[in-house]
Amino acid sequence: MARLLGIEIPNEKRIEASLCYIYGIGPNIAKKVLEQSGVSPDLRAGTLSDDQLTKLVQAITSNNIIIEGDLRREKQITLKRLSSIGCLRGIRHRKGLPVRGQRTRTNARTRKGKRKTVGGKK
């Protein structure tokens, strides 16, 4: 497997798809990085030369793209800040409920978890 910025990317896939394995790089950013570095998106990740890999790394770092651990840390700090100031989004993160206004009466099983049956009334 090819290593890019300390992250293993799959060799058998196109470099355009392989870059998306890096946390913080999606399809649009991958296309932009490939354009700036001058690497063909049709090449397989395993066939890239060292020169092409360094061009990719330079394109990622020059665009100030936050990836992997730094991005995870930044997101965690944001969630802690929301929770500490007591805003609605922070409270809902704390309770494990949907944050962006979705209904919770029937759906939201992913956020709320398995159903907890409450005893029936008589």
Residue 84's domain comprises: 69-112
Q: What is the CATH number of the domain that holds 107?
A: 4.10.910.10
* Residue 120 in domain: no
> What whole-number distance in Å separates Cα of residue 77 and Cα of residue 62?
24
DSSP count for the chain of H helices, then E strands: 6, 2
Task: Please check whether residues 11 and 48 belong to one and the same domain.
Answer: yes
**What pLDDT does 121 receive?**
75
Q: What would the pLDDT profile of 75-117 be if each residue is shown by its tens digit?
A: 999 999 999 999 999 999 999 999 999 999 889 999 999 998 8
Number of domains making up the chain: 2
Q: Name which of 107, 108, 88 is nearest 98 in CA terms.
A: 108
Q: Name which of 47, 60, 42 is nearest 4 in CA terms.
A: 60
Taking residues 34-46, report their average pLDDT.
92
Task: Please check whether residues 77 and 55 belong to one and the same domain.
Answer: no
